[in-house]
Structure 1
């Protein structure tokens, strides 16, 4: 088997429940990846600036498919940036106003934005995933940025129902996907993690069957279907397990690192 690219989701996949990973083991594996010319790609719904912080020594060497594919950066260079036009942003914000239990972060290239009226608990939750998060008087005012995603939060038990309602309310303007916990992302149609990986594959001449991908949530499904080698975490959502070719140990059992070691021939 020849794997030339390894793409990992972060929350619930690469990261354990303490939002960390076994850095020593990973660093050893990363040195092996470099020796074997295997690219390591971080593919997450989270913000680029947050993702970089997990790899302080090597962030400038890595590639990031951030914001569910809307922002792709390789070795510090911007490869792809999606954009939602301002009319659609306004339409979606108007529709979201009817979802009383929901909270919204508007995500852009330079920063993410949250309304001042949101509760502090939600803003603190947002700051874990968005290192650049600005408070604004309302989200309709955000103009000086390239906007490409909505990050929503709902009570966990409502997510299934809310996904259905959002699908109906939004049509094909933006696509709702679950990203774990009570979080739902609204993404640009056709711009998902698999699309992001494809941008990098074209850059490096890597075929789909040479890609290994790891995930646990609804926003990983396209990526898992796209990759020749696809792994769902045992802690993953049921439909994610169906999309993957193999189910591996959970995120708290270092499932990704165990499998990467295997892929590298250890």
Structure 2
């Protein structure tokens, strides 16, 4: 069985706890991927502009399934952009206002947006994941963009309860998923990382059984179920380990690059 596409989540998977990775080792493996015509895809809940900053030398050669699949860019070209109906955005913001402990970033194609009355600590935290983050008087006023995701933050101990409440309140309008720590994303139904991978597979003629995927959180489940080769990090959530074919070394032990080296044939 040959792998023709390798898809990696970033936080908690490809990146270590310091938000870094072994750049020298990756560079060597990336050259081997190119020689073997294996596509390398970054599949993350984070913003495209943030994700590409990790790969300055080769960003224009790579493909990104950003924003949990809502924005797919391949070699600098836009392949897919999801959109949440503006009326629905308004309805969801109204519902979220009732969650007093939560904080919200509204994610769009051109930028992400945060209300200027949010705590500065939350805004600074947001900037790590959203390199384009605009402060606005309130999120209801954001109109001039294609909006495709809500990124929410709650105290970690509340996340499972909040996920249930959001499921009950929102129905199938947008789907709440855990993306690690206290973060919860609201995504367009059916638009997830696996959907983004399928868009790329169509372009490249790659079958599901030729895909290897790596993840650690709830937003990786569809992608891991979809891929012929699926790997959960040892630091991953239990439900992620349950669907993966194999559990590998943690994100702080170079788990992804070690496994990629194996897949490429030491």
Shift of 1:223: 0.1
Q: What do residues 151-182 of structure 1 show as CA deviations (whole Å, max 9, x unaligned)?
A: 00000010011000000011111000000010
In the TM superposition, what are the counterparts of 1:70-89 in structure 2 within 5 Å? Answer: 70-89=70-89
* Counterpart Cα distance in 1 of 2:238 and 2:87: 36
Shift of 1:243: 1.0
Structure 2, unpaired ranges of 5+: none
Provide, for residues 186-229 of structure 1, a one-character-per-residue CA deviation record: whole Å limited to 9, x for no partner: 00000000000000000000000000000000000000000000
**In 1, Cα distance between equivalents of 2:26 and 2:215:** 17
Alpha-carbon displacement from aligned partner over 1:81-128 (angstroms, at most 9, x marks no partner) = 000000100000000000000000000000000001100000001000
CA RMSD of aligned residues (A): 0.3
Alignment of 1:265 with 2:265, yes or no, is yes
Equivalent in the alignment of 1:59:
59
After superposition, what is the alpha-carbon deviation per residue over 1:37-84, rounded to whole angstroms, capped at 9, x for unaligned? 000000000000000000000000000000000000000000000000
Output the TM-score relative to the length of structure 2. 1.00
Within 5 Å, give how 1:39-58 maps onto structure 2: 39-58=39-58
Correspondence 1:127 to 2:127: yes
Could you tell me how far apart the structure 2 residues matched to 1:228 and 1:4 are?
A: 11
Residues 108-257 of structure 1: pairs in structure 2 closer than 5 A: 108-257=108-257
SS at match of 2:60: helix
- SS state of the match for residue 61, structure 1? coil
- Provide the C-alpha distance between the structure 2 equivalents of 1:223 and 1:186, rounded to a whole number of angstroms: 17
Question: After TM superposition, what 4+ stretches of structure 1 lie above 2 angstroms from structure 2?
Answer: none
* 3-state SS, counterpart of residue 131 of structure 1: coil
**SS of match in other structure, 1:184:** strand
Alpha-carbon distance in 2 for matches of 1:63, 1:104: 27
Match of 1:102 in 2: 102
Q: Secondary structure at the match of 1:65?
A: strand
Give the number of aligned pairs: 266
